[in-house]
Amino acid sequence: MFGIIPKYNGRIDFSMVRSFRSLASCGKVPRGSSAGHSDGWGIVAWERGLPVYLGREPVDAFSDPKFEEACQRGESGGFGSPLIAHLRKASVGVKTRDNTHPFVSGEWAFAHNGTIRRQNLRYTTDSQWFFELLMREYEKNGGDLIKSINTIVESVREVYRYSSLTFLASDGKNFYAYRDSSKNLDYYAIFYAEMPNSVVIAQEKFFDASWTELPNRCLLSVDGSLRHEVLGILPDIESSAA
């Protein structure tokens, strides 16, 4: 997973998106897994306040020419919104475009890495189920995403086994990255770095920057001015401004 949050009125640097593509063939995988993240890719940015797919295919990003077409589409469109990109390594759900991250609902886009077990899902993925739970709670809480994350994470932990609940989410204005893994901490990681005109977030450090690792079971929030803070999730929310 990879996210970019440019400054207000800034532009997305698609050279970083192109670099991210290489992880489809050489990115880290959980111990015991086959190499690569070649089961699909997707890129979402925001236009007029709503998420739009620059591209999304259930195939290997490294060999798919549509990935470069998506980057060119984004560059020509001059997108100045956040961006979420995802390279899928399938664990639950068939490999179709509809099951390929990121997923969108209203103004929100969401990408998840990990497996939530005991879901007995046939056509959709555990990630889609997790996102739908979060969005329903968000509506119930009157638009308080952090409260919703606390509630849903607590309920999932009580009932389901999971490898990771790690995700990226944005409404096109604010950006959130949550890390929560029960194993393979070196794989289910989140790193973030402050660039001259953006904050970048990635599960793996794939280019040279001054990266900071997000602690496990913590949430990183970033706004359009690039102000960011780290919040502990459960049992209490304790904020430390970065």
Per-residue pLDDT for 185 more than 60? yes
Question: What CATH number does the domain located at 2-241 have?
Answer: 3.60.20.10
Give pLDDT tens digits for 108-124: 999 999 889 876 666 67
C-alpha distances out from residue 236 to 153, 159, 223, Å: 13, 20, 22
Give pLDDT tens digits for 73-107: 999 998 999 999 999 886 655 788 998 999 999 99
Q: How many Å apart are CA 162 and CA 160, to the nearest integer? A: 6
Between helix 145-159 and helix 126-140 the angle, nearest 10°, is 130
Per-residue pLDDT for 240 more than 60? no
Q: What is the pTM of this model?
A: 0.91
The rounded radius of gyration (Å) of the Cα atoms in the chain is 16
Read off the pLDDT band of 183 (50, 70, 90). confident
Q: How many Å apart are CA 160 and CA 201, to the nearest integer? A: 27
- The residue extents of the domains of the chain are 2-241
Read off the pLDDT band of 241 (50, 70, 90). very low
